[in-house]
Chains A and B, each alone.
Chain A
């Protein structure tokens, strides 16, 4: 079965995971692989440092910032007069404080708008960093509980409809083949499915040390070759074990990516990683 089949089942793919697991890499590789499939792709970056524009020169990359989106939203919802009276940053703080999560809902609202656009077949969202992914995706739910009317309420309702519809949106979780990241991926997956009701696509395990076991004993004990082989074997065994454990605990398909040593991501390294899923 085609492992990338999921790219065509829903228009929006939100890439989520803890900080440091490689969300941006995975977003880039998914976009590159989708383009090779002939899909028209839009990449959305949230708040962070813009980096995918450089890595995907032939792809449309859009930056969404919560502050800018909220300012635009308030402007189009009759607050422009007030904005003039208070400093624009001040009014945004006021609204965001009065109703936590409103900035997230406005960003999700923008993603929903892009989903409606006919110009793209796939919208890949490089999700928010750190532990923010759950809060971000839960924003619609918590706002519906606290705000019982008005445009924000209807916005949240529409966003929730998109998030919970598996034909429109799915979340691609990214993790590393190590104990803590796997535990966290499992917890996040349960939280997203149970509390948000969002459909989960495959889990991407990034930086997997793949390969067969080396015959360490072919080198003399204590020699650099022996130590390096033992180190490599231990790491590969751990990665296999953690991938297996992830499979045991999460009934989701897994996609693996090898690690890219130490240096910066480049156009070439993204393309090379995409070869693993969709050969050029």
Chain B
């Protein structure tokens, strides 16, 4: 399938699911939050899901009490709505077990199992699968017409795509098969000793771990079908054209490389990048004077401008490489008010794009002054310069630093 081409704003207007992906530290959460706010300002009922327990989304959106596993409605102007939630993997997994269990007794047996408690939080891919699962549930929730997912910070940022398959793999797991076959004949945990393979494994990992695992898989019997069906539905949603993938990167060689790799990986799953955000670009500022000034102070300013422009040029080259590699058509990589040293918080608390330059939001906090940027909309940059300057003057007042630890 192929996602419709369009600008990011167009995707925000007509997509039902936006998946923000990219490697760690590039600003996925901030981008997801900004996209959510923009969608709400376009009149959509958007919900932003983050899996990151580090309170980043709550910070970015300025929710003082933090976010929970259930959607919290945020205050945005206009007809649209913005909701946010922080996924609790274990609770979501518990819910899935309850939903698929034949009866209360089976659910309780699984939830109380030590092996399950271990696996629910730590099996690789569980977090990702639960994010995909929650995405599916929210997509079917009548309160929202757009779900924006901030994918988890994984080791290689790709696990999210494999997640629905992970749960199926888990069910088809060699250990599961090994244990479930004898179950049909009523195998008990004691019979373990008769199984040479299990006995050997038990020697390494300890017999009680294995006993818990056996009990878990026995209790799990009968639930595979439900789990597998759900995994297929989630996979189908990710592949449907109401879902768009937004690749977030920063303009550094290593993250650009990872982003290119990620795009390739999407392509092998027959998915494609619908839009690219290159975050934290240095603004180009404009041409330096023809000659280096003679006075010491202005010469320093000249050198600074030249240095920053060189950085900006390098970054734009890196960003261009990503656009070529992803095959993203012109206009689908985007920017939020690229030239001002605007804070992400400021972007989030005020209408994005050109309008963001005109207002100084309340409750401003100290955040990164590096702008969210890319190479689109040069004309917009120029258009908003004046308003920006007005804001720069106002922005010089001291900012409050928020401490997150008592």
Contacts and interface: CB of A to CB of B under 8 A. Distances in A.
B205 A152 contact: yes
Interface string B179-201: 00000000000000000110011
Contact of A130 (B122, B153, B205): B153
Nearest to A186: B405
B304 A93 contact: no
A102 B205 contact: yes
Interface string A225-250: 11111111011001001100100110
Contacts of B154: 130
Given A129-B24, A214-B304, A90 B404 contact: no
A100 B308 contact: no
Contact of A231 (B54, B59, B308, B401): B308
A147 interface: yes
A79 interface: yes
B403 A226 contact: no
Which of A74, A78, A263 has most chain B Cβ within 10 Å? Answer: A263
Interface in A29-59: 47
Given A18-B153, A97-B173, A261-B314, A82 B54 contact: no
B102 interface: no
B318 interface: yes
Interface in B275-322: 282-283, 285-289, 295, 297-298, 300-302, 304-305, 308-311, 314-315, 317-318
B305 A224 contact: yes
A94 B300 contact: no
Interface residues of A, number: 78
Contacts of A262: 251-253, 311, 314-315, 317-318
B341 interface: yes
Interface stretch (B13-21, B208-216, B325-333, B348-356): B208-216
A98 interface: yes
B209 to A, nearest CB: 5
Contacts of B310: 261
Given A19-B23, A94-B174, A152-B205, A264 B253 contact: yes
* Chain B interface helix/strand/loop/mixed: helix
Interface stretch (A4-12, A112-120, A174-182, A272-280): A174-182
B10 to A, nearest CB: 29
B389 interface: yes
B230 interface: no
B59 A180 contact: yes
A20 B25 contact: yes
B324 interface: no
B213 A215 contact: no
B314 A215 contact: no
* Chain A interface helix/strand/loop/mixed: helix
A53 B13 CA distance: 47
A248 to B, nearest CB: 8
Nearest to A263: B253
Given A97-B119, A225-B302, A235-B369, A230 B392 contact: yes
B175 interface: yes
A229 B301 contact: yes
Contact of A93 (B175, B200, B289, B318): B175
A193 B392 CA distance: 42
A216 interface: yes
Given A228-B285, A229-B301, A147 B206 contact: yes
A195 interface: no
A137 to B, nearest CB: 14
A241 B314 contact: no
Nearest to B316: A262
A229 B203 CA distance: 66
A19 B196 CA distance: 42
A98 B122 contact: no
Nearest to B365: A179
Would you list the 3 A-B pairs with minimal beta carbon distance, nearest first? Answer: A20-B25, A19-B24, A224-B286
21 contacts: A19-B153, A74-B204, A82-B197, A97-B173, A97-B175, A98-B115, A98-B175, A99-B206, A100-B122, A128-B155, A132-B155, A150-B203, A183-B59, A214-B304, A222-B389, A224-B285, A225-B301, A227-B285, A230-B341, A262-B251, A264-B254
Given A97-B119, A228-B304, A238-B368, 8 more contacts: A98-B213, A101-B122, A150-B203, A180-B59, A214-B301, A227-B286, A228-B305, A261-B311
